[in-house]
Chain A
Amino acid sequence: MSKAAIIAGAAETNSLGKLPGYSTLGLHIEAAVNAVADAGLSFRDIDGIATVSAPGPVQVAHALGITPRWMDGTGVGGTSFLLHVRHAAAAIAVGQASTVLITHGESGRSRVGAARFAPGLSSPPGQFEAPYGTFGPTTAFTIPVLRYMKDYGLTHEQLAYVAVAQRRWAAKNPRAMFRDPITVDEVLASRLVAYPFHLLECCLVTDGGGALIVTSADRTGDFPKPAVHVLGAGESMETPMISQLPDFTESGAFRLAGAAAFAEAGITTSDVGHLMIYDAFAHLPIYGLEALGFVAKGEAGAFISDGNTEPGGFLPLNTNGGGLSYTHTGMYGMFAILESVRQLRGEAAAGVDPEISVVLGNGGMFATSGVLVLGRSPL
């Protein structure tokens, strides 16, 4: 079904970083304006809208003067935008929409017009996690990794190397927030945020946005930029509480979403020329590489520290610098998709010329996942 869809427009906000002059809604609007222009369209051409709450599809569509005939407010964390692409492709295939705008904007750093998030104390996380002093992703997303380290021998140096490898990509990208090379020793000397995680093993917190235009593959060639084909997509979920993740050494949601996307596209790992794995923290590329089957369980740390995913390696991973070095507004998934689109179009700052790019998104803290298989041609 997704084979019928293309990404025809893709853009970020003019700037990323510290943008106190924009509200969350303002970032959605600027990203939408840029994506519609990138596709050579106007808002009158948009008949479908998808974004997370808040602000949600109603606020965004109304602000842009769009009256959609299809809308999707799926809000399951930072991977939501990958799910929006999947849902939009399905809607387009059955004729519920023709041209879908997907927006992301988040004043993650400046917190202008931003939603507060704290679990209600009667919810399961409020009753069974918050009382022990959790305080956002740094205190919870991080908990599984000591178990992984003990069971599979991942070292502190290998975990730190994930940040080193990604900084090497960021150094090639003028829009990356952090570009100066770093060493394993420097990562391990940065201050502890939540042992075993140091500051440089945690993502940035920034303001910014991005947007996509998804439409029918029948319209390939009608747009100014090369089409990016949605070849396969998958989604899954696992747990609303990190303490209830069934196995702390793997993500079942990553595995299931990936298997669905690869099966729909009819590809295997050897077909993949470029990979984006949502990296809110340094362990996520490790969990992601193993869940997608690029390496066997327990091997991803050495795979990365052997140089396979950095510039010059055979599996280019997180080539924008990732959430660790490029940008991370809070819901990073949109930026991972946008880097894949740039790579497939030949527009990326550190281009690796892939035919097929895979995006693995995470939502919450191993709560949800989406995977997209994107390609330069329809398979």
Chain B
Amino acid sequence: MGKPVPKPVPKPVPEPTPETQPFWDGCAAGELRLQRCRACVRPYFYPRPVCPSCGSAEVEWFTASGDATLYSYVINHRPAPGFEADAPYAIAVVQLAEGPRMMTSIVGVPQTPEALSLDMPLRVTFEQRGDISLPVFEPAGEWRQ
């Protein structure tokens, strides 16, 4: 009898709530959907039923451009459960063209400081994770490899 082999843990799959379901439905349709306030017209993320800028509950969904730039990141050498094969991997925050920021992964590019340049242009793409289509970003324009 050898040592028991730990069961591999899958990567976490987001569990939508009623408030966030339209976002995940958008991802499944290949669209990055954000909310904006009808009163103050500001787009925001993460999904919630009230505008964080002015408190209005008059909010609506719209489809974002999918364009972003790289705002900041780390390259993680201590993988989360399920991410062992990916390490080291970047955990990034991107600046969406519409204004809000979101955490994401940067795909299609080496996970190195040399290849990941702050403010580089990015474009959304989607990865299947269980039943969820997860928004991730890849280099855009002349940064495409």
Contact = CB atoms under 8 A, between A and B. Distances in A.
A183 interface: no
B59 to A, nearest CB: 16
A129 B113 contact: no
Contacts of A147: 71-72, 118
A129 B91 CA distance: 9
B22 to A, nearest CB: 13
Contacts of A127: 14-17, 20, 46
Contacts of A4: none
Contacts of B80: 130, 133-135, 139
Contact of B89 (A126, A133, A241): A133
Contacts of A145: 72
Interface in A136-160: 138-140, 142-147, 150
Contacts of B88: 192, 195
Interface string B40-57: 000001100000000000
Interface in A320-352: none
A126 to B, nearest CB: 7
Interface string B63-76: 00000000111111
A374 B82 CA distance: 46
Interface in A173-199: 191-197
A121 interface: yes
B79 A133 contact: yes
A116 to B, nearest CB: 13
B46 A195 contact: no
B73 A146 contact: yes
A20 B106 CA distance: 40
Contacts of B75: 192, 194-195
Given A133-B76, A139-B76, A124 B113 contact: no
Counting chain B residues whose Cβ lies within 8 A of the other chain, the interface size class is 35 or more
A193 B75 CA distance: 8
B13 interface: yes
Contacts of A132: 91-92, 103-105
Given A126-B14, A126-B15, A143 B74 contact: yes
A294 interface: no
A108 B91 CA distance: 25
B43 to A, nearest CB: 14
B97 to A, nearest CB: 16
A122 B71 contact: no
Chain B contact residues: over half helix, strand or loop, or mixed?
A: loop
Contact of A243 (B76, B82, B93): B93
B11 interface: yes
Interface in A212-269: 241-244, 248
Contacts of A138: 76, 78
Contacts of A135: 76, 78-81, 83
B86 interface: yes
Contacts of A194: 74-78, 91
B34 interface: no
A145 B73 CA distance: 8
Contacts, number: 118
Contacts of A140: 91
B134 interface: yes
A95 interface: no
Contacts of B89: 133
B102 interface: yes
Interface string B109-129: 000010000110000000001
Contacts of B46: 124, 127-128, 241, 244
Interface string B1-35: 00000000001111111001000000000000000
Given A139-B91, A241-B46, A193 B78 contact: yes
A131 interface: yes
A142 B103 contact: no
Nearest to B130: A131
Given A121-B13, A135-B81, A139-B91, A150 B102 contact: no
Given A122-B15, A244-B46, A192 B77 contact: yes
Contacts of B79: 133, 135
A127 B81 CA distance: 16
B129 to A, nearest CB: 6
Interface of B: 11-17, 20, 45-46, 71-83, 86, 88-89, 91-93, 101-105, 113, 118-119, 129, 132, 134
Q: Which 7 A-B pairs have the closest CB atoms?
A: A135-B80, A243-B103, A147-B72, A195-B75, A122-B15, A127-B14, A194-B74
23 contacts: A122-B14, A122-B16, A124-B46, A126-B15, A127-B15, A127-B17, A127-B20, A130-B80, A131-B132, A133-B11, A133-B76, A133-B89, A134-B103, A135-B79, A143-B93, A146-B72, A147-B72, A193-B77, A193-B78, A194-B77, A242-B103, A243-B102, A248-B71
